[in-house]
């Protein structure tokens, strides 16, 4: 089965988030870094809350992380997600800075579906690494496999 989820909601890419999605298309997991004071931030936003600078750089992360929390959604769900339910959603904390977290899914391998891992085996704190999965024609989503 293709891991793609037909009609799943996708991000509306804008001037703030474009470099993140350019990164995933290239196989890079990028976060913003303030060009003035160096503070990293995610999700992307225009201003650095530490120094109020609008100058942004993007830094590629190693893609290594740990599971911070996870859930297993069951119906009723958006129709797009019904065929793959129950599936998992995880929040990971990046190795570079555990206060940088991202929402994703734990999957068995880079081509697998979001219901490919037995939820009973997922544990908080386990090590994961990023993989990149096309979702529609323009967007590549980061997901996660066991490290």
Partner 1 sequence: MTIKDRTAIAGIGQTRFAKSLPESELAMACQAITAALDDAGIDPGEVDGMCSYTMEQNIEAEVARNVGLGDVTWFSQIGYGGGAGCGVVGNAAMAVATGQCHVAITWRSRKRGAATSRPWAQVSNRISGSWQWSRPWGLLRPVDEIAMLTRRYMHEYGATRDHLANVALASRKHANRNPAATMHDKTMTREQYLDARWISEPLCLFDNCLETDGAVAAVVVSAERARDLRQPPAVIHAFGQGLNQQHQVMTNYFRDDPLMGPAWTCAKVLWHNADLTPGDVDVAQIYDAFSPLIPLSLEGYGFCGRGEGAAFTEDGGLEWPDGRLPTNTSGAGMSEAYVHGFNLIAEGVRQIRGTSTSQVKGAETCLVTSGEGVPTSALLLTAAR
CA distances from 2 to 39, 106, 109 (A): 39, 16, 12
Separation between Cα atoms, residue 104 and residue 30, nearest integer Å: 15
- Site for Zn ion contains 140 (CB under 5 A): no
Is residue 48 a contact residue for Zn ion (CB under 5 A)? Answer: yes
Smallest gap from residue 41 Cβ to partner 1 (A) = 9
Q: What's the closest the beta carbon of residue 48 comes to Zn ion, in angstroms?
A: 3
Q: Which of Zn ion, partner 1, none is residue 108 near (CB under 5 to 8 Å by kind)? A: none
Q: Is 36 in the site for Zn ion (CB under 5 A)?
A: yes
Say if residues 144 and 132 touch (Cβ distance below 8 Å).
Answer: no
**Using CA atoms, how far apart are residues 21 and 29, in angstroms rounded to an integer?**
9
Given partner 1, Zn ion, none, residue 34, with its beta carbon under 5 to 8 Å by kind, binds Zn ion
């Amino acid at each position: 089965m293709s891991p793609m989820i037909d009609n799943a909601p996708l991000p509306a890419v804008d001037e703030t988030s474009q470099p993140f999605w350019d990164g995933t298309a290239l196989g890079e997991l990028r976060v913003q870094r303030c060009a003035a004071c160096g503070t990293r931030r995610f999700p992307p936003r225009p201003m650095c809350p530490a120094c109020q600078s609008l100058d942004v750089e993007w830094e590629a992360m190693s893609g290594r992380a740990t599971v911070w929390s996870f859930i297993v959604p069951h119906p009723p769900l958006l129709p797009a997600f019904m065929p793959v339910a129950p599936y998992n959603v995880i929040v990971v904390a990046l190795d570079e800075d555990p206060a940088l977290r991202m929402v994703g899914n734990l999957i068995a391998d880079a081509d697998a579906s979001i219901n490919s891992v037995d939820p009973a085996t997922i544990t908080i704190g386990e090590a994961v690494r990023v993989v990149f999965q096309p979702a529609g024609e323009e967007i590549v989503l980061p997901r996660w496999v066991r490290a």
